Chains A and B, each alone.
Chain A
Amino acid sequence: MSGQPVTLTIDGKRLTVPAGTLIIRAAEELGIEIPRFCDHPLLAPVAACRQCYVAIEGQPKLVTSCSTPVADGMAVQTQFTNDDVRDAQSSVLEFLLINHPLDCPVCDRGGECPLQDQALAFGPGESRYVEAKRTYRKPLPLSPLVYLDRERCVLCQRCTRFCDQISGERFIDVLDRGAAEQIGIAAGEEFDSPFSGNTIQICPVGALTASTYRFEARPFDVRSGESVCSHCASGCNVTVQLRRGRVVRNLARDNLDVNDAWLCDKGRFAFSQWDRDDRLTTPLLRVPGLEPVSFEEALSAIAKWASGGPVGFLAGGRLTDEDAFALSKMARVAFGTNHLDHRPAGGGDTPVGVEAAQAAGMPVTYADVESAKAIVVIGLDAEQELPILHLRIRKAARRGAKVFVVHARRTRLHDVAEHVLCRAGEEAQVLAGLWGAPEDSAPGRMAAALREAASDAVVLAGPRLGDSAGAVAWAAAVAAEGEAKFALLCRRAGDRGALRAGVHPSLLPGGRRVDADDRRAHVEVAWGTLLPPSPGLDAAGILRAAADRRLDTLFVIGCDPLRDFPDAALARRALENVEHTVVVDVAAHGMDAFADAMLPAAAPIEQDAHLTDWEGRPQRLHAVRPAPGLARPGWQIFQALAEAAGADLGFDSLASLRGEMARLLPGTDGESSPAAPPGRPEPVIGEADADVTLFSYPLLVDEGRMSNGADVLKRALERPAFVEIHPVDARRLGLTEGATARIRTDAGEVALPVVVTEGVARGSAFVPYNQPGLAANTLLSGRLISGARLEPAETVVAEAGAGASRAASGPEAVG
């Protein structure tokens, strides 16, 4: 698109738009809506539905405005000024309706259906069709989540074009031809894409429906609120819809800066976690059983425990920005400690300077990714960990960006990216050897692409790269060397906000280092108090201290140490041994067994707050509904707790809290990347007698508590646990596809079905973090990488593969 300004008139109104703009878009700028079905601004034009006809003066034929770019001096007439256009549009609607069942009263789309709306506005009113209609068996389940009703389909191909152009998951396609043309899926296959729900949302008729929403509600009896998805750090803008106070549907909200118009299936279909049965609605205090008490009572008890001795704060990655900031300040101001961390196991080998740099501003944005000429992704399975970033990388690739992935496991970028499969833990070796790599090797091509793209390159370091020795430092150094933009990604929705807020043992708000006097002083002045000057314990340290009874009180805030921390045994010892455990959370999720006090927090959809995505972009959440019972936003709890402990956080309203955040975030004096490139990394050798390097990360749809209640989603997309190994290792270890392997590490042992694939690096074995049949942290000792021994198991272990498997059961009965 050249972008030269072009001036034209539409219905006599003059406007100037960049060359290359399609007429339908130009008309939108004037507020003239031309009816359309196949057109979608994020999909290439197809001009199939023929609904958007307009006339251009001097041209004998009508043209489709979705596929015709503007030209200088062009005079366009729409249905509002041209009878021929109105006639053409009306005839298309008549055509589209001849075989349509006209079942609006029982159609989920009724009331929010472009076909219905446009038929009313522009249609002929009455059909002249008297022949029998085309009928199809329906609904046709494409997956447990997505149902297809072909009779309602207008064959606009938005769904198949989405799969082709956006997700690259071409599970559905246009089958047959002529009047029998229809959308379909291959026999025996399912729409096994984590982006399948987008096709439902962009379907302009009721042909694709969500099994979770079928016959659930009408547009006019749901209440909608704007929010931001809290499943991951992608930052997707969503509309949350409730019926009688319960969430019945999540929809993507368009935001071209962030999620375009898309949402992953987890964001769309895992919406019942806030309506779970074990929501905390009142403070609870152990006396000795947990009993409901007032906030006042609970807070004074907690303040008493916590004032007595050392405390530590474990925060999940899902706090809102406001909550994280209040927590960061409370820990320091009210309890005088830097023992707080939002990271599951500390930063591993991540230089604190790199984190500090990420805490300030937006080092890389979606727009940077989209326009990049070269993208290097290190230690990230984007589809599974940051799905919307995955889509943006694909979009960049479609526009010609060269994409490289350095990872121990092949990712779903494989069709658009060159992968450098390296043994888990050896990413730093690949990066260190990059500039000297042979030209015809993948690393060599990566180096060339980075050099060529220079500042148009983006280097993305995955959220768990810190567990790989030297890797984050090397990633940052490679970016710096090539002048590329660099981001250390985070996975969970609250991670970036917590980092910025200083829910971190070494960093204060704005990425200011605790141990840097001038920077600490900045915060001390703002807060009007002296702060502890030396770094505190990170998450692992806090857990160890709790396990060793060196902490009196452990605050567990919005997290589940038993599942989240990559050392299940340590987490359990900590919870069992620490004197007092205080839980601040939305729901109990099993922590009631350990808690001495539980404080009910409001869910993200119940708060006026912000979440900062991986880019560093804070986005507003609105309270879609009130919090249940006495539950309240975390910042209010922390403010009250501080008060109970005799401290004043200095804000008593959201406005004053935000005022303070605005003054301290983003820190203008955060650090930039580390000055000196790291030394040549030493290869990481697993335990001396290890067969392979075991590595793990959470898959998108898993047993995590955020997916609680999302049973249909799990049936569609959740896989039972497995272990993936390379064929060479499989032969060496006597393992075959489908066999059961016994995996032993220093931390534990488990038996899992074997998947043999070249999609995993030699010498590595992958297990998902949290699938049915496996909590991988029972195998880990504080990092997501571990040496492991593998051998054929004598007997098949029953628990592997138990739990929700989509092969196991059918969808809910419908219709």
Chain B
Amino acid sequence: MTEAGFVEDVPDVQGPVLGPEARATADRIVAKYPDGRSALLPLLYLVQSEAGWVPRQGMREVAEILGLRTAEVEAVATFYTMVKLHPCGRYVLSVCTNPSCSLLGGRRLFDRAKELLGDASDHGVTDDGVFTLEEEECMAACDKAPVVSVNYLYYDRVGESDLEAMIAAIRAGDVPEAARGGVPGDLKAVSRTLAGIGSLRDSGAVPASPPIADDAANATGAADG
């Protein structure tokens, strides 16, 4: 056993995840809060928007920005399910199997998705890099059960054939419009939205202080429908 043996197979990337521009964005995110540490999750999302997931290198960079130890960042990163700790498909397909959905077919839908996407479940990625499949907890849209989301934009009352069509369309590059919020962007784009950047430009408003508008960014992971 080597001293660091336990980390040998942890996925990671080389070199900085956050370039100069992203670093500048990070500074503005930090400035949003009375205490910079509050920016930890937004910064992890920022890393995810650059890398498509959150490699250890990204955690180290966030730690450095916030003056924390990497373990402190990892402690937070591993707590939350939307921080993707493994390489991810461009589209995270989530199927709710909580009873409100399962009573109306959510469980069957998830099983079908597993058949269709194979290895993409359990945070795997389909061979073409398009999908990661997740069994989701209640998404607070039980009135539209069973609910499926693609990068967290929701599709209502999805049947098995709807699901098959959705998957095929996304594979073909023609992502269907969600029930609300437009066409989901890929995970990087949605992660920008999650980081709190780039979602406000199209309102035409220039906020006085807290929200950040990011000119460099594509407005939102979710284009308006």
Contacts and interface: CB of A to CB of B under 8 A. Distances in A.
| A and B: interacting chains | yes
A173 B7 contact: no
Interface string B1-33: 111111100101000000000000000000000
B78 A177 contact: yes
B223 interface: no
A187 interface: yes
Counting chain A residues whose Cβ lies within 8 A of the other chain, the interface size class is 20 to 34
Contact of B69 (A171, A175, A810): A171
A174 B75 contact: yes
Nearest to B7: A187
Nearest to A415: B67
Nearest to A137: B6
B177 interface: no
A144 B3 contact: yes
B122 interface: no
B137 to A, nearest CB: 12
When A and B form their complex, which 7 residue pairs have the shortest distance between CB atoms, in order from nearest?
A: A186-B70, A187-B7, A173-B75, A173-B71, A170-B69, A186-B71, A176-B78
Contacts of A184: 71, 74-75
Given A187-B7, A190-B4, A810-B3, A173 B79 contact: no
B192 interface: no
Contact of A188 (B4, B69, B73): B4
B93 interface: no
Contacts of A141: 1, 3-6
A187 B8 CA distance: 8
A20 interface: no
Given A184-B75, A185-B71, A187-B4, 10 more contacts: A170-B69, A171-B71, A176-B78, A184-B74, A186-B60, A186-B70, A187-B74, A188-B7, A189-B70, A806-B3
Contact of A172 (B7, B60, B71): B71
B59 interface: yes
Given A170-B68, A173-B74, A176-B78, A186 B1 contact: no
18 contacts: A140-B6, A141-B4, A141-B5, A171-B69, A174-B75, A177-B79, A184-B71, A184-B74, A186-B59, A186-B70, A186-B74, A187-B10, A187-B70, A189-B70, A190-B3, A190-B4, A810-B1, A811-B1
B79 to A, nearest CB: 5
B52 to A, nearest CB: 19
Contact of B71 (A140, A189, A811): A189
Contacts of A144: 3
A172 B75 CA distance: 9
Nearest to B76: A173
A189 B60 CA distance: 11
B90 interface: no
Interface in B72-121: 72-75, 78-79
A173 B6 CA distance: 16
Contacts of B10: 187
Interface in A159-217: 169-177, 184-190
Contacts of A140: 6
Nearest to A813: B1
Given A170-B71, A175-B74, A811-B3, A187 B79 contact: no
Interface string B192-225: 0000000000000000000000000000000000
**Secondary structure class of chain A's binding surface, majority of residues:** loop
Nearest to A182: B78
B56 interface: yes
Contacts, number: 66
Best-buried of A170, A190, A806, A813 by chain B (most CB within 10 Å): A170
Contacts of B72: 170, 173
Contacts of B75: 173-175, 184
A813 B72 CA distance: 29
A781 B56 CA distance: 48
A92 to B, nearest CB: 23
A175 B74 CA distance: 7
Nearest to B79: A177
A185 B69 CA distance: 10
Contacts of B69: 169-171, 173, 186, 189
A169 B71 CA distance: 10
Contacts of A174: 75
Nearest to B81: A177
Contacts of B7: 187-188
A811 B74 CA distance: 25
Nearest to A148: B6
B162 to A, nearest CB: 32
Interface string B41-69: 00000000000000010011000000011
A175 B78 contact: yes
A570 B139 CA distance: 78
A135 B1 CA distance: 19
B7 to A, nearest CB: 4
Contact of B79 (A172, A176, A185, A813): A176
Interface string A780-815: 000000000000000000000000001000110110
A185 B5 CA distance: 12
A810 B71 contact: no
Nearest to B74: A186
A97 B7 CA distance: 28
A174 B68 CA distance: 14
Best-buried of A169, A184, A190 by chain B (most CB within 10 Å): A184
A172 B60 CA distance: 14
Contacts of A172: 71
Contacts of B68: 170
Given A177-B79, A187-B12, A188-B7, A810 B74 contact: no
Nearest to B75: A173
Contacts of B59: 186
A118 to B, nearest CB: 28
Contacts of A170: 68-69, 71-72
Contacts of B12: 187
A502 to B, nearest CB: 47
A312 to B, nearest CB: 47
A712 to B, nearest CB: 11
Interface string A128-141: 00000000010011
Interface in A107-147: 137, 140-141, 143-144
A177 to B, nearest CB: 5
Contacts of B56: 186-188
A141 B1 CA distance: 9
A810 B3 CA distance: 6
Nearest to A191: B71
